[in-house]
Amino acid sequence: MVSGDVRTRTRDIARAAVRAELGQVAIGLFQREGFAKVTINDVAAAAGVSRNTFLRYFGTKEDAVLGAFDAQGQRVADALRARPAGEDDWTVLRHALDTIVEDYRRDPGGTLATARLIQETPALRARRLEKQCGWRPLLAQALAERTDPPSLPTDLDLLVRAAAALDCLEIAVDQWAASDGRLALDDLIDQAFAALAAR
């Protein structure tokens, strides 16, 4: 007999697989036809599902492109918590961003094409920034937990550090995309952090 937990995990895995597949179909279509020209109905038809099915997985076209960003903020915060206790905030933040760099390493061609699509589409750029702004409190909370005694996650210094680290990431990704992926993303992030530290 299959337990409820196993059924729930299986359902979650299946849902994540369908969501990933729909996202890939959408991104491919947006890259070929242009984000503005493609409708939700077009994506649903290309994926062989109904509009309502697509909308069960993504509320907007933007979410179909940026759905992977949803979990990234929590992954960065978890990586930050796992860093050695003696590291300073900037070192911790820099190394925590390596979880995102790993995504780019796994699929450099796909992530480069997606980065370009985001750069070229104002609605996607705005939505990406909105999602990254949502990561700030997650990172500030993780930083706060590392202080002795623990700080408040609303501490202005922590929020500013989190925001600055995310800006470094965004600028580095833009530079990486502009170089057609020839420059190493982790080197660009290092340079961005070094530019901040020099001030």
The one-character DSSP state at 82 is T
Q: How many domains does the chain have?
A: 2
Tokens of 67: 């759905």
Average pLDDT value for residue range 73-93: 94
Q: Are residues 51 and 114 in the same domain?
A: no
- Give the integer Cα–Cα distance in Å for 96 and 47: 35
User: Are residues 192 and 119 in contact, defined by beta-carbon separation less than 8 angstroms?
Assistant: no
At 188, which CATH number?
1.10.357.10
- Give the integer Cα–Cα distance in Å for 101 and 79: 12
Tokens of 84: 């050695």
Position 43, amino acid? V
pTM, entire model: 0.84
Task: List, in order, residues 6 or more apart from 180 with CB less than 8 Å away.
Answer: 112
Task: List, in order, residues 6 or more apart from 59 with CB less than 8 Å away.
Answer: none
Segments forming the whole domain that contains residue 9: 4-64
pLDDT digits (tens, 9 = 90+) for 21-33: 999 999 999 999 9
pLDDT digits (tens, 9 = 90+) for 105-122: 898 888 999 999 999 999
Q: Are residues 20 and 92 in the same domain?
A: no
Q: Are residues 118 and 187 in the same domain?
A: yes
